Amino acid sequence: MKKAAFVTKEQIDEIKKTYPTPFHLYDEAGLRRNCEAVKEAFSWNPGFREYFAIKALPNPIILKIFQEYGFGCDCASETELMLARALHYAPEEIMFSSNDTPASEFRLAKEIGAVINFDDITHIDYFLEQVGPLPETVSCRYNPGGVYEISNGIMDNPGDSKYGFTKAQLFEGFKKLKEKGVKRFGLHSFLVSNTVTNDYYPQLARTLFELAVELQEATGCEIAFINLSGGVGIAYLPEQTPNDIRIIGAGVQKAYQDILVPAGMGDVAIYTEMGRFMSGPYGCLVTTAIHKKLIYKKYIGVDACAVDLMRPAIYGAYHHITVLGKENEECDHLYDITGSLCENNDKFAIDRMLPKIEIGDTLVIHDTGAHGYSMGYNYNGKLKSAELLLKEDGSVQLIRRAETPKDYFATLDGFEIYQELV
């Protein structure tokens, strides 16, 4: 499938007059269409709620769009909880799916009334000792260990992952939580990341539903919700077929009817904590070619770098690139597209066939709407880019300004370097 950018050269040329590149641009219309599809896909479950994983795109303007669809948020840190609080989510709309959690964050989560999703059995006593009595609703994260394989060969190694309770620990943990006054229970698991198949959620649902029936029978605990967490992927590669959330929702419904309904658990709510699927395709990094370098390979240097988008550098992740205005030209030039960090993996693309690129051309790096801006850092003292929202009416809103040197130097104490420099 041909991957097209959601903006044209004309639109970007206009935007560049006000906002210099690089910047991340988000597509409100696309975000909204996807929200509708997610709602519809799970409308068969009256308690359904998507808790958007804030870490994917922690911008309040975007979170407000999700709020319009009744979606909550999933937090794992102090600042994510603070963002949730500032946006006035109802307590039950905030999931706290953290790990290696400091007591101060458990305290804040409790104060806000967020749903606590324990990552480890020892966190129950830690919470009781450091924070106080448990809330009435508590969730636990499950790790089945071993290798988890989905029908089409996609797999991951939960046995090597740091998250969750073992199966035996879940039975013990639920009993303990019940003794300590917990009334409503949740079960959560996140086994494979970025699954580009409609089978992952339905298969995970079967695993968790069967376990929930066992747990409820063995412990007498009332299971109120099952949280399928994140992991629903997107088609980064042009040859991939994007997931169809309606097929995924129907697959989960089938598992629900096969397993939970006959066990008398037809009132369990389904929760999700999707990040990537909610925002990934509806963002792009817009950057300008500033250098062309010919040595042993052909390099195009752009004005963005791994600080703006880390995935290619740390995972070797593929992000599709469109050279704006050259969408219909032949991809007959082989390039590495690089950023400016003193770090050789600062490359947005390696050995990529693209149309001939001239200095000044605008490149759109696709699918940066999740785990893009938010993963950024400040290596080489490089400053993070702005975030813009392309609104449904075609106008553009600055939703986060670019960092300035003053921001970068702001955390130095006792040394007023910024004053010296300006």
Footprint on this chain of ligand PLP (rule: CB under 6 A): 53, 55-56, 74, 97, 190, 193, 229-232, 273-277, 370
Residue 304 near residue 22, CB atoms below 8 Å: yes
Q: Which is nearer to ligand PLP, 114 or 274 (CB)?
A: 274
Residue whose C-alpha is closest to residue 81's, from 105, 61, 47, 57: 105
Q: How far is the CB of 86 from ligand PLP (least distance, A)?
A: 21
Q: Which residues contact 283 (CB under 8 A, 6 or more apart)?
A: 24, 25, 26, 27, 57, 367, 368, 369, 370, 372, 373
Nearest approach, Cβ of 122 to ligand PLP (angstroms)?
18
To ligand PLP, the closest distance from the beta carbon of 253 in angstroms equals 20
Least distance (Å) between residue 57 CB and ligand PLP: 9
Cα 238 to Cα 320: distance, rounded to the nearest angstrom: 7
Helix boundaries (H) for 359-416:
405-409
**Residues with Cβ within 8 Å of residue 320, at least 6 apart in sequence:** 3, 236, 237, 238, 365, 366, 367
Task: Kindly tell me which of 157 and 404 has the beta carbon lying closer to ligand PLP.
Answer: 157
Cα–Cα dist 226/223, whole Å? 8
Instruction: Please name the residue that has the structure tokens 């059995």.
Output: 121
Least distance between ligand PLP and beta carbon 416 (Å): 38
Nearest residue (CB) to ligand PLP, 74 versus 156: 74
| Least distance in angstroms from the C-beta of 173 to ligand PLP | 17
Any idea what DSSP says for residue 403?
A: P
Q: How many CA atoms lie within 13 A of 154 on its CB side?
A: 19
Q: Please, what is the minimum distance in Å from the beta carbon of residue 405 to ligand PLP?
A: 31
Of residues 99 and 288, the one with the C-beta less far from ligand PLP? 99
CB 33 within 8 A of CB 21: no
74 or 387: CB nearest ligand PLP:
74
Tell me whether residue 55 or residue 206 sits nearer to ligand PLP (CB atom).
Answer: 55
Cβ-closest residue to ligand PLP?
230
Residue 96 to residue 141: CA distance in whole angstroms: 11
